[in-house]
């Protein structure tokens, strides 16, 4: 190997590659990882020192979505850049009204797995966010369309407030169990996995029976639900930043929808206990900010800090937000020849989760970007 063919980046210190995998050095050459010491150094090779780990993963993020619905491509690009600069280098987009397939062609933007559009019913989700089906019977066909539109995932809205009930308005499931099961089967036949927005307890039995792959929020899951999810390998994304807004949502509903307000307030009050219970039950937890809509992008460190506040050890949260999420989404471990997607920190985030707020370097496909801190 000549000097011109040598690595462009060397990372020295502690490279965290997995639960039981570490290295003292790692090199980047041609945008790829090398774990083998090179015989020659690259021209103008950059040396980075500190604690490095595979790029963070936001498994519940909405590129192309803002409070009022879809945004222009230019704004979606800014969202993706904010995520990248926070250390998020892989995103599972959990539903967006904007077709963001163009992100795949941008080497400077995070790897993206799209779930197509949210699938909901009229007046049973946020306006302009998803595809509102005229009747529940259309769900299986819509799932097939979104499975073919996305990147291996489909997002279904499992429950929402039913305002037609007047003062008794509360969270109610959107879909009959048989149609939901049929829709999940359709997605699996298209080699796509299904994740479902679910706040309410009443929604979960149908989701488990249908064989969904992932549950978003999971605020209404009981101990029995958690045990079954753990046994069947169904992951849950707690989205604590989003659940942290439930008190404000309840305040807005007071008076007009008192039943709904009481439920949202109760879920907010026990949000940390809910996450502890999920973790102790052995449910695989994923880290997702729910960025887009009312939550700004680039807040992965905030979500991780919330999980630690809930009682999950920082070492577990770091693993959940990095190599374990990569594996869950099919990106696998960082090995020789992997895409060089890494984040470098000045200290060990497993010891102090606040370190995630201060990356010293973000490396995406071998290119070093300035980190925000």
Average pLDDT (150-165) is 97
Using the predicted structure, report yes or no on whether residue 371 has a pLDDT greater than 70: no
The token pair that represents 349 in the structure block: 């985030």
DSSP conformation class of 287:
-
Q: How distant is the alpha carbon of residue 261 from its chain centre?
A: 27
pLDDT band at 44 (very low <50, low <70, confident <90, very high): confident
Number of other residues whose CB lies within 10 A of the CB of residue 224: 12
pLDDT band at 2 (very low <50, low <70, confident <90, very high): very low
The token pair that represents 373 in the structure block: 């801190």
Give the whole-angstrom CA distance, residue 71 versus residue 218. 28
The residues near 216 (Cβ < 8 Å, ≥ 6 apart) are: 60, 94, 155, 195, 196, 197, 198, 236, 237, 239, 288
Residue 218 to residues 201, 222, 295: CA-CA distances in angstroms?
Answer: 8, 9, 18
Using the predicted structure, report yes or no on whether residue 180 has a pLDDT greater than 70: yes
Q: Find the DSSP H helices in the chain.
A: 73-85, 139-149, 177-189, 201-210, 223-232, 240-243, 246-253, 258-269, 271-280, 300-309, 314-321, 323-328
Give the whole-angstrom CA distance, residue 319 versus residue 304. 11
pLDDT band at 370 (very low <50, low <70, confident <90, very high): confident
The token pair that represents 34 in the structure block: 């090398």
pLDDT tens-place string over residues 356-366: 999 999 999 99
pLDDT tens-place string over residues 224-249: 999 999 999 999 999 999 999 999 99
The candidate with the shortest Cα–Cα distance to 13, out of 3, 23, 1, is 23
Q: How distant is the alpha carbon of residue 72 from its chain centre?
A: 22
Give the whole-angstrom CA distance, residue 100 versus residue 151. 11
pLDDT tens-place string over residues 271-293: 999 999 999 999 999 999 999 99
> Per-residue DSSP letters for 175-190?
S-HHHHHHHHHHHHHT
Sign of CA dihedral 27, 29, 34, 37: negative
Average pLDDT (78-83) is 98
Average pLDDT (199-223) is 98
The residues near 274 (Cβ < 8 Å, ≥ 6 apart) are: 218, 219, 221, 238, 267
> Per-residue DSSP letters for 32-87?
EEE-S--SSPPTT-EEEEEEEEEPEEEEEE-TTEETTEE--HHHHHHHHHHHHHTT
pLDDT band at 294 (very low <50, low <70, confident <90, very high): very high
Burial of 184 (0-12, 13-18, 19+ CB in 10 A): buried
pLDDT for the residue numbered 3:
41
**Percentage of residues in the chain with pLDDT exceeding 90?**
94
The residues near 257 (Cβ < 8 Å, ≥ 6 apart) are: 161, 163, 167, 169, 170
DSSP conformation class of 322:
T
pLDDT band at 42 (very low <50, low <70, confident <90, very high): low
pLDDT band at 38 (very low <50, low <70, confident <90, very high): confident
pLDDT band at 372 (very low <50, low <70, confident <90, very high): low
């Amino acid at each position: 190997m000549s000097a011109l063919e040598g690595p462009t980046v060397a990372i020295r210190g502690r490279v965290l590659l997995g639960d039981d995998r570490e290295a003292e050095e790692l090199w980047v050459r041609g945008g790829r990882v090398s774990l083998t010491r090179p015989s020659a150094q690259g021209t103008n090779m950059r040396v980075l020192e500190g604690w490095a780990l595979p790029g963070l993963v936001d498994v519940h993020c909405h590129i192309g979505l803002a409070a009022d619905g879809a945004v222009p491509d230019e704004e979606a690009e800014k969202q993706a850049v904010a995520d990248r600069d926070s250390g998020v280098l892989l995103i599972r987009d959990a539903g967006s009204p904007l077709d963001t397939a163009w992100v795949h062609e941008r080497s400077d933007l995070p790897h993206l797995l799209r779930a197509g559009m949210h699938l909901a019913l009229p007046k049973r989700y946020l306006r302009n966010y998803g595809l509102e089906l005229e009747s529940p019977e259309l769900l299986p066909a819509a799932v097939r369309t979104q499975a073919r539109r996305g990147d291996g995932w489909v997002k279904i809205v499992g429950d929402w407030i039913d305002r037609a009930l007047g003062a008794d308005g509360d969270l109610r499931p959107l879909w009959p169990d048989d149609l939901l099961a049929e829709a999940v089967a359709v997605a699996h036949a298209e080699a796509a996995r299904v994740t479902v927005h679910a706040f309410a307890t009443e929604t979960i039995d149908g989701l488990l029976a249908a064989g969904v792959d992932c549950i978003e929020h999971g605020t209404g899951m009981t101990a029995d639900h958690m045990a079954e999810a753990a046994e069947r390998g169904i992951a849950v994304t707690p989205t604590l930043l989003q659940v942290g807004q439930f008190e404000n949502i309840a305040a807005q509903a007071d008076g007009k929808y008192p039943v709904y307000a009481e439920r949202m307030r109760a879920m907010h009050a026990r949000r940390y206990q809910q996450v502890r219970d999920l973790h102790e039950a052995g449910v695989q937890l994923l880290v997702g900010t729910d960025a887009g809509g009312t939550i700004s992008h680039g807040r992965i460190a905030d979500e991780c800090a919330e999980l630690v506040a809930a009682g999950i050890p920082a070492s577990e949260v770091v693993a959940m937000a990095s190599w374990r999420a990569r594996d869950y989404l099919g990106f696998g471990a960082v090995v020789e020849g992997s895409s060089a997607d890494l984040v470098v920190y000045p200290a060990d985030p497993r010891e102090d989760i606040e370190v995630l707020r201060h990356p010293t370097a973000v490396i995406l496909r071998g290119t070093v970007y300035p980190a925000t801190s």
